[in-house]
Amino acid sequence: MALFGFAAAGAVTILAVVLIVLALVVYLVAIIVQLRRITTGLGEVLRSVSEIAEKSAPVNGVVKTINQQLDRGVDLLEGLLVKKAGMEDAVGLVDGLYPGSGSAGFRKFPGSGGTKAPRIGEVYTRGTLTLARLGREAPIAAGSPAGPALRDPAYGSAASAKLYPEPRQQRPSSLPSSPVVGTDSPVQYPPVISWRSGGEPEPEAEAEAPEAAPTPAESTPAPAADPDAPKTISWKRG
Amino acid sequence: MILWWLGDAILLLVVLPVVVFLLSGVLRAAKKIPPTVDGISSVAGAGSRDLNAVQLLLTTQDQVIKTVAGVADYGGSLDVILDDA
């Protein structure tokens, strides 16, 4: 009886150990499979991340260069604007074109945001503003700088035009009237044909030439007589 | 004899369930990792593809340099022909 008891207890022990080992094997194999999947997935992630690092490596330098170039451009334009228009007018111009941005000032000129800008946008039209910033040829500068500024926004262009001198007589008092042309015009002009340099009339012009035109002897000048004559001449065809 | 049976009982009723519980927990945690890794892999791949356009930054850089140089030329010309304030 005691021997049977020992044998039974031993068998149960062996069974328990086998069960434990079996559970360890099953779960550990499943975990190993999962870890292999994780390793494979991480390999793909590492490859993609390596590509990202490789592709983004020059970005820093390139973007830095672009920003430096753009900063140079902004500094250049701001400096030119302030130099040519003055700080107050420059801030006023910027504020007139982009309301509210004048308070930000210019980046190259610290403290320029506190400049009290004139309300340029309400005084001048945009075109007048452009002309005003162009210096000597501007209507404002054409007048006395100490004189009153243009204050007529409705007719700003006409007012500025009056300030321009008129060195050339561009508007004479009277000009001869333009000739009247057409089939029913009071003065009928002979038809004109074009000649090539080789002396042959162009087909279109030849077809349109009337029959009652004068003879070639009456035409002046002859095509070959003057070597300096233009290649395309007009004459009356007989 | 009683202690042996007691040991068997502990093995079957305590140790084995604890081992199974712990291993199942580890397996559950391990099974949650691959989908996450797959998601990270797909996102990283998409990010890598998105960066294919980075090469165009070199063209942008050249264009910006040329543009700023042109602006500088125009600014220099304006500086010459216009009076200062």
Residues 6+ apart with CB under 8 A from B20: A23, A27
| Average pLDDT of the segment spanning B8-21 | 93
Over pLDDT 70: what percentage of chain B? 100
pTM surpassing 0.90? no
pLDDT in tens, B53-77: 888 999 999 999 999 999 999 888 8
Residue with tokens 């080992």: A21
Residue A183: the pLDDT is 75
Substitution target from A28, A33, A65, A136 for chain B, most B beta carbons within 10 A:
A65
Nearest in space to B16 (alpha carbons), one of A34, A6, A27, A32: A27
Between the CA of residue A138 and those of A1, A187, B66, what are the distances in Å? 127, 47, 31
* Closest Cβ opposite residue B61 in set A12, A35, A62: A62
**How many interchain CB pairs under 8 A, A with B?**
147
Given a cut of 80, is residue A98 above it in pLDDT? no
The answer to whether the CB atoms of A51 and B48 lie below 8 A apart is yes
Beta bridge partners of A201: A195
Degrees, nearest 5: CA angle A80-A154-A119: 40
ipTM, interface predicted TM-score of the complex: 0.76
pLDDT tier at A200, thresholds 50, 70, 90: low
